[in-house]
Amino acid sequence: MRPEDILLPTAAGVCCKAGGFYIDPTRPVDKAVITHAHSDHARAGHGAVLATQETLDLMRLRYGENFAGATQAIRYGESLHMGGVEVALYPAGHILGSAQIAVTCAGMRIVVSGDYKDVADPTCTPFELIPCNTFITEATFGLPVFRHGNPDDEVTKLLASLVLFPERAHLVGSYVLGKAQRLMVLIRNAGYDKPIYMHGAMEKITRYYQTRGIAFGDVRLARDANKADFAGAIALCPPSALKEVWSRRFPDPITAYASGWMRVRARARQRGVELPLVVSDHADWDGLTATVAATGASEIWVTHGQEEALVHWSTTRGLRARPLNIVGYGDEDETSDTASLPDQAEIE
């Protein structure tokens, strides 16, 4: 049996004909299995959706009660049969509720990673390595120049800037789902105990994280504060809000942006970012290659991101590898950032 007999890449996403479902389909389908709730993987309009409870809850918050015709929650490690295959979900370490999807048939196991990271994140269940025959991996940061470093060091950089500029607000652009909540906890873990302000777009998701036992301390909506309250304060917002009218309420703000793309100096300059923070919810090059090797898979399929470099790395190590070239995946708030490759001279 070949991997293509179990899962088949199509324009709509990876399809399992035997099970009658798609994984993270890019357009509405009858049955979808969803890895996580970011909008490039979790779309509304499917007939039925299978995912973790957290992913279903977050999709409901983002798309409304009727985001799918029917839903079914599955726990990590739980398996069920769909047609002629066995399906199980395992932690991906990307955001709350994120999962890898293992599809097994006739003794062959294929693991679809979705988006993942192999470093600690206090806001979600840690990544779990699943041995398999074929591994379908993301490659968002699939170039050797992308090594994210320690996120605690980036938060230390942010807090040091607060000390240097106590009269200025620090606006931190970060993805609404996952990144913002992780930053809040990292900031608290670094000893910061003052109020953290957030954009209204982050409120529902942040409150939901709190219901799942994630503590953020004193988190307030920026719209409810006075301008004087923002001196020396931290405020989190979607990246787009850094250049919108919303940002004008802050006194002489310092703009920061938390993203793996901030490793590229040119991108920070293009965005007018004064304080780039290299904090990513995706595996970096070392994480990708280590994971590929550790799965024991003999065949590697690479999707969304810098596919060619990881395919080349895999083939040089005797693995069968191929790019999937499925259009529609990428950082949900910044899909255009995967459009061009950075030169070595651009990297910090």
pLDDT at 131: 98
Q: What confidence score (pLDDT) does residue 266 get?
A: 87
DSSP string, 196-242: EEE-GGGHHHHHHHHHTT---SSEEEGGGS-GGGGTT-EEEE-GGGG
Q: What is d(CA 216, CA 187) in angstroms, rounded to the nearest whole number?
A: 9
Residue 173's DSSP bridge partners are: 237, 257
| Predicted pLDDT at 306 | 86
Q: What is the pLDDT of residue 346?
A: 28
The pLDDT assigned to 331 comes to 58
Low-confidence ranges of the chain (pLDDT < 70): 327-328, 330-348
What is the tens place of the pLDDT at every residue in 235-257?
Answer: 999 999 999 999 999 989 999 99
Distance between CA atoms of 297 and 75, rounded to whole angstroms?
24
Residue-wise pLDDT for 20-30, tens only, equals 999 999 999 99
Predicted TM-score of the model (pTM): 0.93
